[in-house]
Amino acid sequence: MEQSGNIIFKAESMRKYFGVTHANDDVSIEIPAGQIRGLIGENGSGKSTLISMIAGISRKDFGMMYLCGKPYEPESPLGARNCKIGTVVQELGLIDGLPVGMNLFLGAMDPFKRKNGILDTKKLFAEAQHQLKKWGFPGISARQSTESLSVENKKIVELVRALSINPELLILDEITQALSLNNRKKLIDIIIQLKREGKAVLIVTHDIEEMVAITDFITVMRDGRIVAERESEQTTTGEIKRLMVGRDINNVYYRESELSPIGEDTVLEVRNLCSDKFRNVSFDLHKGEIVGICGLSDSGIHELAESLFTVRKVKGGTITLPGKNAALKTPKQAMDLGVGYVPKDRDHQALMVHDSIKHNIALAAVEMTKQAFGFLNPAKAEKLSEDAISRFQIKTSGPDQTVSGLSGGNRQKVNLARWTIQNKDVLILDCPTRGVDIGVKAYIYRTMTVAKENGVSIILVSDELPEIIGMSDTVLVMKEGEIVKQIPRSSGFSEETIIEVMI
């Protein structure tokens, strides 16, 4: 593709309105060839809106875009794809009912058509497998049903779909948080490879350290505008944080106390838990303790979280609450006995995204909204939702707003709020900060710390090691479905010591 003045993509005075909200207000950006550009900002700052216009998902209201010097105005994601702009969106964008290979080339199958119009599926699947192998993911079969893939592998398929067009500009919207450590490293290698080939990459991530480390240049957005641009080598994470929120962020990000007291009482006891994804998992969770569970992809950490809340069947073993003399059998029983669960896949497993905030909160806290004879009290549900919105500073028009209208961070606040407003004894949090910005992240960590201080015990499952290290009293490292090491905070664990065990 012909290039003009070494600039691959340029946008001038881009504006996008949603009612009275200026989602993008006079946004101009230039991305030269061979540059890895970071785009960062709080939830609702306008990053995803800008990306959606570049990717052809939504139309601009005003402004101009140029690709390799020529005016560029995609009418659809397919149009953007045809112009060699590959995008991986924040939310999952695959067709579950089609195999992986067909998802890779959906909307662009003409090269696989025979003269009689019939698709040469053998060629299509072979090419799809070639692409998966070429980009370092041969373990995913092109013929495999997409539905059967994990969230992480679905994201990888989306990535390979974007890469398969040999993009001039690759846009990655919060993809890294869906990936485990090993696949994150693969992604970084791919990005560096594209840079060497003179392609441009626009990457959005809430992991500021990661962004500063892998990008050449960082654009910071706030309230729909670009507020700063910095060379990555010349900036610091502290400066980026300050630019994002418009004020200094307290240095204390994770919990303050290095070693804080843990109760002697065991509140949750797991013994020899086995399933098709993990085996012989045993550990104790004490009152006021945060147990962090980490591991590479396929280590079974997320499946273990599901099993601890009994939503995933186990083949053997027990989960008991000694203080209540009960063994957990069903999610309803777990909820009744004071256990809450925040799953990793927020939009599919946790929230009813097309329903209101009020109903989402009331569903988890149904006991708190009951009145005489077990009937639900709408006024109580309303009050509970208003309290949660106020306490968690959820940016919304009110309890009746549908969750689908909220930003990712605010959705996660709803997800967490509905459990933390109840006096649960045990919280199982699977990637609670996935897809949320620095401000929300800090808030979630603060909430966890306060809960811990109030005697709530937390199981924190995460793909992010700094989070595990920063928040846990005890770290359980899993490898190939087994706990291979249990490290107490007193031993002064570090990323290096944990990675050594994980790999």
Partner 1 sequence: MGIKNSIQEKISVLDMKNGHGRRIKTIAALVLVYLIMGIVTKNRFLTGTNLLAVLSNSVVNAFIVLGFCFIFATGIIDLSIGAILVLACNIGGILAVKAGLGYAGLIAGSVIVAVILELFNMKLIQVTRIPAWIFGLGMAMVYEAVGAIYNSHQIAAGLQAVSLSDSCRALGQPPVNILLLAAGVVTAFLIYNKSTAGIGIRAVGSNKEVAGMMGINTSRTIILSGIIGGIFIGFAAAVNESYAGRVVPSTGLNSITLIFIPLAAYLLALAFSKTFNLTIAAALSSFIITSIFNVLTIMGVPTGTWQKVIMGASVIICGILSARTEKGDVK
Tokens 């777990």 found at:
334
The reply to whether 46 sits near partner 1 by the rule CB under 8 A is: no
Residues 173-192 that bind partner 1 (CB under 8 A): 182
Nearer to partner 1, 143 or 324 (CB): 143
Instruction: Please work out the total of residues on this chain that contact partner 1, with binding judged by CB under 8 A.
Output: 36
Nearer to partner 1, 106 or 249 (CB): 106
Nearest approach, Cβ of 503 to partner 1 (angstroms)? 10
Segment lying near partner 1 (by CB under 8 A), choices 116-124, 163-171, 196-204, 325-333: 116-124
Helix (H, G, I), strand (E, B) or coil at 482: strand
Nearest to 414 by CA among 355, 339, 331: 355
CB 101 within 8 Å of CB 142: yes
Contacts of 318 (CB under 8 A, 6+ apart): 269, 270, 271, 272, 273, 327
Nearest approach, Cβ of 92 to partner 1 (angstroms)? 8
Q: Please give the Cα distance from 148 to 152 (Å, whole number).
A: 11
Phi/psi for 335 (5° steps) reads -65, -45
Fill in the per-residue mask, 63 to 102: x = in contact with partner 1 (CB under 8 A), - = not in contact: -------------xxxx-x-----------xxxxxxx--x
Nearest approach, Cβ of 377 to partner 1 (angstroms)? 31
Nearer to partner 1, 149 or 335 (CB): 149
Nearer to partner 1, 99 or 288 (CB): 99
Nearer to partner 1, 296 or 362 (CB): 296
Q: Please give the Cα distance from 185 to 268 (Å, whole number).
A: 35
Tokens representing residue 205 in the block:
């991530």
Q: Please give the Cα distance from 388 to 500 (Å, whole number).
A: 41
Nearer to partner 1, 106 or 126 (CB): 106
Instruction: Give how far Cα 161 sits from Cα of 47, 86, 107, 183, 274, Å.
Output: 22, 8, 11, 16, 35
Rounded to an integer, what is the distance from CA 303 to the centroid of its chain? 16
Q: Please give the Cα distance from 319 to 364 (Å, whole number).
A: 21
Nearest approach, Cβ of 53 to partner 1 (angstroms)? 14
The reply to whether 119 sits near partner 1 by the rule CB under 8 A is: yes
The reply to whether 136 sits near partner 1 by the rule CB under 8 A is: yes
Kindly list the residues in this chain that would bind partner 1 in the complex (CB under 8 A).
57, 76-79, 81, 93-99, 102, 106-110, 113, 117-121, 136, 138-141, 143-145, 147-148, 182
